Amino acid sequence: MDAKTQSLGEMPPAAAGARPGDGWGSFAWFCVKLLMVVLAFRVFVFSPFSIPSESMLPRLMNGDYLLAAKWPYGISRHSLPFDLALPEGRLLPGAPERGDIVIFKHPVDGRDYIKRVIGLPGDRVAVSGGQVVLNGARVPRVPAAPELVPISENTGCAWGGTAVTTHDGEACRYEAFRETLPNGRSYTVLDFGTTQADSFSERVVPAGSLFVMGDNRDSSLDSRFEASAGEGVGFVSQDLLVGRASIIVWSTDGSADWLKPWTWFSAARWDRIGDTL
């Protein structure tokens, strides 16, 4: 039998040396590597976060799902899944800027909170008549067009708002203002009139801490209130930062029924998905 005839009936050398478990072993190793990549992404790059309240209206709504970038402020134990017990402090720390929307751990109960940075370490911060006073100067705030927030299963018409009917359905009309910080960052805030939170005597932001506020000024428990479980947050230590809110990856009005898959799409707020913050 010549070499050609012999090769037709023999198993190729590579196949002859293969072991039955090689295929499953390769797949298992692939899964391990994939898990490591996902974990690294979760630890060092982005973290998911959902908006549970209306304290950041009108920019963020109940039912928004965000990705928070972790690298801008450094990595701490609060950046890790399950809040693993690592040493205090941050790896490659970075400082937030005024106007950043930050996610952090509540200093008392450890829950995730989201607010906007107003004051940095060393700043003198006060609130007078609902207007922020930063280092002795009033932060410019001018009237803006009223905000119309659609009323849905997870977003009602809070006090200070007026229910109206639009061509898109029921909405809540809020009086709004445009606020501009000294670094030029500008954003819309809601203010419904005189409340207890409209007055805050001047205080200096301690080293390594932040003064944060919600954009929905009369419905936000923030640095204007002393830190207490489920309540205000006081000055927020930068070591409690989880990340900077970066992009809305999903938004739902709360009307979806898990047993009716088509409602997963009809409940989506498509115009909000992909918005950068």
List active site positions. Answer: 55, 115
Cβ neighbours around 83 below 10 Å, total: 13
Q: What is the DSSP string of the chain?
A: --HHHHHHTS--HHHHT--TTHHHHHHHHHHHHHHHHHHHHHHHTEEEEE--SSTTTTTS-TTEEEEEE-GGG-B-GGGSGGG----SS-BS-----TT-EEEEE-TTT--EEEEEEEE-TT-EEEEETTEEEETTEEPPEEEEEEEEEEP-SS----TT-EEEEETTEEEEEEEEEEEE-TTS-EEEEE--S--GGG-EEEEEPPTTEEEEE-SBGGG--STTS---TTS---SEEGGGEEEEEEEEEEEB-S--BTTBTHHHHHTB-TTTTT-B-
- For tokens 């809110």, the residue is 245
Which residues 6+ apart lie within 8 Å of 227 measured at CB? Answer: 106, 107, 108, 233, 234
* Residue of 236, 245, 191 whose CA lies nearest to 215: 191
